[in-house]
């Protein structure tokens, strides 16, 4: 009897919760579909110069608005045609993901750091700290994101740095909400109390005990906010106050092609499809992590 | 209940006060308003003149207090570009955004509540899957892209609906769909989970045991409970929509607050920008307040706890 019990219990004990979660993630269909699309877009963005011979900013005014290859007038020289300034659209599509991804990851680092710090502090200390942080959070939620971002970018001048800072400083709310409730749930658990009892420093408790135990929800929010940041950048670029030429993103490509909607809809459909695929892939990966780390929160 | 309302009222007032400081100082902290108003090629003397005329040379707290004082007295300032009172300009643009927001919310609720209920009644079936995919797709679709898609299908290919301006009610259909669709996933998910929870509760089981009709059980005993958090979310979503309507209004050339904000930003029309920021933020704060009070009125656990 005893040998059976130990034989079945041993492999379970040998795996840490992190390993179990990783294993489950790797068996999740959505993770592979989303991760696959994400990988293709990432690799294309990084290896862009190897994938196309065209310079995405080179203007050939003699070859403006060449239709894509599926059109009778298209050719393989420009598989996706050219835009209104005669730039190769395939090259612009491949390079276009670069800035979007850069802005997305940079802003998630900024907003994640701010939101997680505030959320853990509010959840761990509670009381007045919680009240104060909740108030700051309410103020942030009360401010309309797109409008504030537009105003700041318009007045402070829109460099890439300012754009990343503004988006990062605006999108920390969900990080704070999620880490706060996750911290509250574990703040009174035995291992935290034990750490306090043996005299661990507050810093140790926050970073070594709490932070590792909220990584699941943290990854889920990070995926949501990564998508959110990229969408916000696209919206700002679409309104003409985001990324500025010569830099460009899919959002800016859509903005520049706006007036071609009636006669050359592919100029919008191509970068639009890329943007949707990217957001969709990020959401799929995030959903997969959520299914694995918090199955009860599935809705 | 009264104590709860008074408490929430005070917090909301405080939130609006702090938000007004942010709205006011945003344009001062992020740039030189006088330089922005004068334009790129202005002479330094002109910038100085503007600075003095508009009082930008005074300490920022003094300017803020003057601004708030005027605001409370009903004077919202003057648009230096339109040469009109900000109050008049806002009053002209507000109805368009309000109409758009309400229609968009109606569309979102009309689509997401039935879908959420259907998904909850038949979990893990094709109905549930379709509803989930509508939600997932909605989250991946940028609103401006969706708006352009609607314009292409209904305006260019089918020619059913007007795509620009706000002359008739038909002009509001596509913008409302484009704006409202964005709120659909969240409301649908919440309806679904609330409905599933309610259907598993004891009182629904009792109602079933009493032999009440399925429809009656679902609507009177299930949905009534599931709807409480949805009401709160709907109010919050309406606030988000007012803030996010800037993109949709720009795409469809609807001359509402968002469109005005976008134009004012490009004209560096400082006083209009500040007023719009404050109006949208205050509306959001009031909507969340109403949602909280409504929640408390419907669910005694909130106002006591």
CATH class, B89-248 region: mainly alpha
Q: Is the pLDDT of residue A252 over 70?
A: yes
Q: Say which residue, B226 or B281, is predicted with more confidence.
A: B281
DSSP, residue by residue, B179-227: HHHTTHHHHHHHHHHHHHHHHHSHHHHHHHHTT--HHHIIIIIIIHHHH
Q: Is the pLDDT of residue A152 over 80?
A: yes
Q: Out of A75-79, A136-140, A273-277, B59-63, pick the least confident.
A: A75-79
pLDDT in tens, A27-49: 777 888 888 999 999 998 888 78
Kindly state the percentage of chain B with pLDDT values over 70. 97
Q: Is the pLDDT of residue B305 over 50?
A: no
Q: Is the pLDDT of residue B240 over 90?
A: no
Look at A146 and B26 and tell me if their CB atoms are within 8 Å: no
pLDDT in tens, A161-197: 999 999 999 999 999 999 999 898 888 888 888 888 8
Which of the four pLDDT bands, split at 50, 70 and 90, describes residue A15? low
B265, B268, B270, B284: which to substitute to probe chain A, counting the most A Cβ within 10 Å? B265
Written as six digits, the tokens of B259 are 């469109």
Q: Is the pLDDT of residue B56 over 50?
A: yes
* B60 Cα to chain A: minimum distance (Å): 17
State pTM to two decimals. Answer: 0.86
Which of the four pLDDT bands, split at 50, 70 and 90, describes residue B88? confident
Residues in A whose CB is inside 8 Å of some CB of B read 135, 138-139, 141-148, 150-152, 154-157, 227, 231, 234-235, 238-239, 241, 251, 254, 258, 261-262, 265, 268, 272, 275-276, 279-280, 283-284, 287, 299
Q: Say which residue, B189 or A79, is predicted with more confidence.
A: B189
SS3 A85: coil
The C-alpha atoms of residue B172 and residue B179 are separated, in whole angstroms, by 10
Q: Where are the domains of chain A?
A: 103-299
**Residues A56-65: what's their mean pLDDT?**
76
Pairing of strands B78-79, B84-85: antiparallel
SS3 A169: helix
Which of the four pLDDT bands, split at 50, 70 and 90, describes residue B30? low
pLDDT in tens, B101-121: 999 999 999 988 888 888 888
Which of the four pLDDT bands, split at 50, 70 and 90, describes residue A14? low
B13, B142, B271: which to substitute to probe chain A, counting the most A Cβ within 10 Å? B142
Kindly state the percentage of chain A with pLDDT values over 70. 92
Q: Does B136 touch chain A (CB under 8 A)?
A: yes
The yes/no answer on whether domain A103-299 falls in CATH 3.30.470.20 is no
Bond preceding residue A246 cis, omega within 30 of 0: yes
Residues of B in contact with A145 (CB under 8 A): 243-244
Counting every residue written for chain A, the total comes to: 299
**In terms of CA atoms, which chain A residue is nearest residue B143?**
A235
**Residues A72-76: what's their mean pLDDT?**
72
pLDDT at position B300: 67
The C-alpha atoms of residue A119 and residue B68 are separated, in whole angstroms, by 32
Element (H, E) at B79: strand B78-79
Mention every residue, 6+ apart, whose C-beta is less than 8 A from residue A125: none
Look at B277 and A155 and tell me if their CB atoms are within 8 Å: no
> Which of B6-15, B178-187, B195-204 has maximum average pLDDT?
B6-15
Q: Is the pLDDT of residue B135 over 90?
A: no
pLDDT at position A294: 65
Residues of B in contact with A152 (CB under 8 A): 26, 30
Q: Is the pLDDT of residue B175 over 80?
A: yes
pLDDT at position B102: 92
pLDDT at position B304: 58
SS3 A82: strand
Residues of A in contact with B27 (CB under 8 A): 151, 155
The C-alpha atoms of residue A249 and residue A158 are separated, in whole angstroms, by 14
If phi > 0 it is left, if psi is from -120 to 50 it is alpha, else beta; for residue A223 that is alpha
pLDDT at position B260: 92
Mention every residue, 6+ apart, whose C-beta is less than 8 A from residue B218: B117, B121, B199
pLDDT at position B103: 92
* A293 Cα to chain B: minimum distance (Å): 18
pLDDT at position B128: 82
CB B199 within 8 A of CB B222: yes
Q: Which residue has the tokens 């679409």?
A: A238
pLDDT at position A88: 82
Residues 162..181 of B with a Cβ closer than 8 Å to A: which?
Answer: none
Cα–Cα–Cα angle for B226, B232, B297, rounded to 5 degrees: 80
Residues of B in contact with A146 (CB under 8 A): 243-244, 246-247
Q: Which of A135, A143, A276 faces B281 most closely, judged by CB atoms? A: A143
Look at A139 and B36 and tell me if their CB atoms are within 8 Å: no
DSSP for residue A259: G
* A185 Cα to chain B: minimum distance (Å): 19
Written as six digits, the tokens of B89 are 């300009």
CB pairs under 8 A between A and B: 129
Which of the four pLDDT bands, split at 50, 70 and 90, describes residue B215? confident
Q: Is the pLDDT of residue A3 over 70?
A: no
Exposed, middle or buried by CB within 10 Å (0-12, 13-18, 19+), for A4? Answer: exposed
**In terms of CA atoms, which chain B residue is nearest residue A282?**
B140
Look at B246 and A231 and tell me if their CB atoms are within 8 Å: no
**Residues A7-35: what's their mean pLDDT?**
69
pLDDT at position B227: 80
pLDDT in tens, A97-147: 888 999 999 999 999 999 999 999 999 998 899 999 999 999 999 988 888
């Amino acid at each position: 009897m005893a040998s059976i019990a130990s034989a079945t219990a041993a492999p379970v004990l040998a795996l840490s919760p992190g390993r179990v979660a990783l294993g489950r993630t790797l068996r999740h269909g959505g993770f592979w579909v989303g991760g696959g699309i994400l990988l293709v877009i990432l690799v294309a963005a990084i290896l862009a110069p190897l994938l196309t011979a065209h310079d995405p900013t080179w203007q050939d005014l003699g070859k403006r608005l060449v239709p894509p290859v599926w059109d009778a007038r298209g050719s393989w020289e420009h598989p996706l045609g050219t835009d209104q300034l005669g730039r190769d659209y395939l090259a612009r599509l491949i390079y276009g993901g670069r800035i979007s991804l850069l802005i997305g990851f940079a802003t998630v680092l900024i907003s994640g750091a701010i939101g997680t710090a505030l959320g853990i502090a509010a959840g761990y200390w509670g009381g007045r700290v919680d009240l104060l942080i909740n108030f700051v959070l309410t103020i942030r939620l009360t401010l309309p994101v797109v409008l504030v971002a537009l105003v700041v970018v318009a007045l402070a001048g829109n460099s890439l740095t300012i754009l990343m800072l503004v988006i990062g400083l605006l999108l920390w709310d969900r990080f704070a909400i999620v880490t706060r409730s996750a911290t509250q749930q574990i703040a009174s658990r035995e291992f935290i109390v034990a750490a306090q009892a043996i005299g661990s420093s507050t810093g140790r408790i926050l970073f070594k005990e709490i932070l590792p135990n909220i990584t699941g929800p943290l990854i889920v929010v990070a995926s949501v906010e990564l998508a959110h940041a990229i969408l916000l950048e696209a919206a700002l670029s679409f309104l003409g106050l985001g990324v500025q030429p010569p830099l460009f993103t899919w959002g800016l490509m859509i903005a520049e092609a706006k007036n071609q909607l009636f006669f050359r809809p592919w100029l919008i459909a191509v970068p639009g499809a890329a943007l949707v695929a990217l957001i969709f892939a990020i959401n799929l990966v995030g959903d997969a992590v959520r299914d694995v780390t918090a199955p009860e929160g599935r809705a | 209940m009264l104590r709860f309302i008074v408490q929430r009222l005070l917090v909301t007032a405080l939130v609006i006060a702090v938000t007004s400081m942010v709205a006011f100082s945003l344009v001062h902290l992020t740039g030189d308003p006088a330089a922005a108003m004068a334009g790129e090629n202005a002479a330094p003397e002109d910038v100085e003149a503007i600075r003095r005329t508009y009082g930008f040379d005074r300490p920022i707290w003094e300017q803020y207090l003057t601004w708030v004082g005027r605001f409370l007295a009903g004077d919202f300032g003057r648009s230096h570009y339109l040469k009109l009172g900000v109050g008049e300009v806002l009053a002209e643009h507000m109805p368009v955004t309000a109409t758009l927001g309400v229609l968009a919310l109606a569309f979102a609720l009309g689509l997401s509540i039935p879908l959420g209920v259907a998904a909850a009644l038949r979990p893990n079936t094709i109905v549930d899957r379709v509803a989930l995919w509508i939600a997932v797709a909605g989250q991946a679709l940028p609103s401006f892209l969706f708006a352009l898609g609607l314009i292409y299908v209904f305006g260019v290919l089918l020619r059913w609906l007007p795509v620009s301006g706000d002359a008739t009610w038909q002009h509001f259909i596509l913008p409302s769909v484009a704006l409202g669709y964005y709120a659909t996933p969240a409301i649908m998910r919440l309806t679904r989970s609330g409905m599933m929870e309610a259907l598993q509760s004891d009182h629904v089981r009792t109602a079933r045991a009493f032999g009440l009709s399925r429809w009656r059980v679902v609507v009177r005993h299930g949905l009534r409970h599931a709807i409480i958090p949805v009401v709160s979310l709907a109010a919050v979503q309406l606030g988000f929509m007012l803030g996010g309507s800037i993109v949709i209004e720009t795409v469809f050339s609807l001359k509402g607050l968002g469109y005005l904000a976008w134009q004012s930003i490009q004209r560096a029309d400082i006083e209009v920008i500040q007023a719009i920021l404050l109006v949208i933020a205050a509306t959001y704060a009031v909507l969340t307040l109403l949602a909280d009070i409504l929640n408390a009125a419907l669910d005694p656990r909130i106002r006591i706890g």
